[in-house]
Amino acid sequence: MYVKVCGLDSVESAAVAVESGADAIGIVMSRTSPRRRTADEAAEIFRSVPVSVDRVLVVHDMPATAAAEIAAAVGANVLQLHGSYTGDEVRAAGAIFSRIWRATSLADDPELSVGAFGEELLLLDAPKPGSGERWDLSELISRRPGGRWLLAGGLHPANVAEAIGEAAPWGVDVSSGVESAPGVKDHQRIRAFVSSAKRGG
Q: Which residues are catalytic?
A: 6, 125
Q: How far is CA 96 from CA 25, 65, 92, 141, in A?
A: 21, 7, 7, 34
Rounded CA-CA distance 174/185 in Å is: 11
Dihedrals phi, psi of 81, to nearest 5 degrees: -95, 115
How many CB atoms are closer than 10 A to CB 31?
Answer: 10
Amino acid at 186: D
Distance, CA of 35 to CA of 31 (rounded, Å) = 9
Distance CA 201, CA 6 (A): 19
Residue 8's nearest CA partner among 32, 30, 28, 33 is: 28
Across the strands, what pairs with 27? 57
Distance of CA 133 to the CA centre of its chain: 15
What letter would DSSP give residue 108? Answer: G
